[in-house]
Amino acid sequence: ILKTLNSWFWWENIWMPINCTWADFVDRDGIVFPKPHQLYATIPYAFVLLIIRFFSERYVAIPLAKALGIKNVRRVKPQPNPVLESYFRECSRHPSQSEIQGLAKKCNCTVRLVEKWFRRRRNLEIPTVLRKFQEAFWRFSFYLTSSIVGFIFLYDKPWFYDIWQTWVGYPFQTLLPSQYWYYMAEIGFYWSLLFTLGIDNKRKADFMAHVVHHLAAIGLMSGSWCGNYVRVGTLVIFVHDTADFWLEAAKMFNYARWEKTCNMLFIIFSIAFFITRIILFPFWILRATLYQPTYYSTTPVIAYFLFNGMLLTLQGLHLYWGYLIYKILKRFVFLK
């Protein structure tokens, strides 16, 4: 069954233009092609990024937070109590008064001590401001580095200025070393975010949304790697990262209670978001993925519909997030 599924998954009609086979993707005459098995390397790269994150959060983010006036608040841990711990995890974090009385009798202690235990236990679940700052610092560092490096990798490429160049010579486009490392770092980063979702700040409202987003990002980049859609893929990555570091910077100064700086950074983020996600992405990227491939080939492959479906879904999320940002800006301008 697995062998059959594997043959279906790598069926040429899914990935590449008509009359092309995987045999055509063998390195030759100085042309290097991306290879699916290279994606396995993104897992160890993710652990390398986790190590870098550990040291940057501890030895850079914490001193920076202290310099900005953020204090490390130490929370008092409740006394170990298996009965209350089991109730907290399996039943309720906010027991009613009658439930507290029942637990007090069961543990042979006072109602006041049970209330105090639950209050301290709930506080342990709330991430400290310093912890939030550390996570925002890591994401800010990565997105800023990725944006700078991405610009260095792309600024001298013809497809950065002429989007038509993303399809010239496709699928026989050579893989550049810069494209390899750009992809490996981005996919590795999203793997690392996926690995740490359980220990990072708990986001109850959108936990599953983060899981779906990270998996979709990994799937989209991995798929574009296998089909050698690397040129347009690097443009998609660059367009997304250039706005994100402004948001993480705004969060960092928000945690430090630098209100004016935070507001200014959020306005810059909003401008960058609307330019990159609401203007450039649909009128530059989607134009290159929806319209231009039909100019070069009259028989679109299945990947054309799969990838464009995901990119259109992404644009739908951009519009939704853009609406939320607009509402925040409206409140900021008119309601101070």
pLDDT in tens, 109-121: 888 888 888 888 8
* Maximum CA extent, the chain: 81
For the record, the structure tokens of 219 come out as 């799937």
Domains and CATH numbers, the chain: 33-68+128-335 (no CATH), 82-123 (1.10.10.60)
Q: Say if residues 155 and 281 touch (Cβ distance below 8 Å).
A: no
Task: Supply the pLDDT for residue 59.
Answer: 93
- Side chain identity at residue 24, one-letter code: D
Distance CA 154, CA 186 (A): 15
Residue listed under structure tokens 């705004």: 250
| CB atoms closer than 10 angstroms to residue 229 | 26
Q: Say if residues 107 and 99 touch (Cβ distance below 8 Å).
A: no
For the record, the structure tokens of 293 come out as 């491939």
pLDDT tens digit string along 134-183? 999 999 999 999 999 999 999 999 999 999 999 888 888 999 999 999 99
Distance CA 274, CA 259 (A): 23
Mean pLDDT check: name the lowest of 51-60, 151-160, 208-217: 208-217
Q: Say if residues 181 and 154 touch (Cβ distance below 8 Å).
A: no
For the residues of 12-50, what is the DSSP string, one character each? HHHHS-TT--GGGGS-BTTB----GGGGGGHHHHHHHHH
Answer yes or no: is pLDDT of 334 > 90.
Answer: no
For the record, the structure tokens of 135 come out as 């996570």
Task: Supply the pLDDT for residue 138.
Answer: 95
Higher-pLDDT residue of 187 and 97 is 187
